[in-house]
Amino acid sequence: MKQIRVEKLIYDFVPPKNVNYENAPALEITQDSWTGVLDNNILTCYVTKEYSSVEDARKIVEEYLQLWEFASCFGSQENRIKFKFKDAEVKEIDFEPAQSDDSVIIEKLGTAFGVGSAHPLKTTLFVNKYPQPPQNGLKITPNVETLQHRYINFLEDKECLTSMAYFCLTLVEVFCGKKRGRRKSAATNLCVDLDVLDTIGELSSTKGDEKTARKFPTKGPMSQNEEAWLKVAIRRLILQLAKYEHAKENNLLDDLQSLAMKDLPELS
């Protein structure tokens, strides 16, 4: 009796076009159903749990890789990595006692996986360490994915900062707040200082020029410090939402760390 077993999944590690990891040492990953080694921009995943289809094995691995991409983009240092599925090594196992060690590779696949292309810059940054794998405590829900998509659109110059920021703020208020006092209740539920949400609302609603302002008249274009603050604040807000979703699912809301103004850059 023969059965298919997935042995390896191989992914290309794709950094931003302005970042080079050629001197980074190998990074090892250990998960419940697979282990991996990231080396020379190739992630090789050794599947330790039995899966009879590549799709089932990929689903488990790519849930983790999606978190890795997310954490790298929205962590303390913005770094838009992605993983692209390249190959799968699948073996046919004969379970008859005399043939128990016989196996042959019967399938290799290659399909793209991951978020969009990296935003090009003129200079190249040589980095001697791969981005660290994500820690426990994040959950990517449809709302988180929506905000991630809007933020990436902004990074790719498909959307201006003010409209992206206001959309993210509004979604958080609607889905995390109550009908009355949405912003205040959303701040309480997410463990975010109300000043953070108020400042996001102020900058995204009242600042900008004729191309970027949401309302007219405006208080003028944002300063460089204001733009830098708003970009970091939105990134941290999206990360906070992913932490909140994980805490809510696992009854850990009492342990959710707060996001305060002191955690963000100075505005002045």
SS (H, E, C) the chain: CEEEEEEEEEEEEECCCCEECCCCCCEEEECCCEEEEEECCEEEEEECCCCCCHHHHHHHHHHHHHHHHHHHHHCCCCCCCEEEEEEEEEEEEECCHHHCCCEEEEECCCCCCCCCCCCCCCCCEECCCCCCCCCCCCCCCHHHHHHHHHHHHHHCCCCCHHHHHHHHHHHHHHHHCCCCCHHHHHHHHHCECHHHHHHHHHHHHHCCCCCCCCCCCCCCCCCHHHHHHHHHHHHHHHHHHHHHHHHHHCCCHHHCCCECHHHCCCCC
Query: Is residue 104 predicted with pLDDT exceeding 50?
Result: no
- Is residue 106 scored above 60 in pLDDT? no
CA atoms within 13 A on the CB side of 120: 1
Give the pLDDT of residue 122.
46
Q: Which carries the bigger pLDDT value, residue 221 or residue 162?
A: 162
Across the range 198-210, mean pLDDT stands at 85
pLDDT of 101 > 80? The answer is no
Alpha-carbon span 130 to 231, nearest angstrom = 24
Give the span between the Cα atoms of 225 and 169, in whole angstroms.
19
Determine the average pLDDT of the residues in 190-211: 88
pLDDT given at position 94: 66
Give percent of the chain above pLDDT 90: 63
Whether pLDDT at 193 is above 50:
yes
Residue 103 pLDDT class (50, 70, 90 cuts): very low
- Asked whether the predicted pLDDT for residue 144 surpasses 60, the reply is yes
- pLDDT: is 42 or 72 the higher one? 42
Q: Provide mean pLDDT across the span 120-128.
A: 62
Neighbours of 60 (CB within 10 A): 17
222 pLDDT above the threshold of 80: yes
Euclidean distance between CA atoms 163 and 143, whole angstroms: 17
Burial class (CB in 10 A: 0-12, 13-18, 19+), 224: exposed
Average pLDDT for 196-204: 96
CB 188 within 8 A of CB 240: no
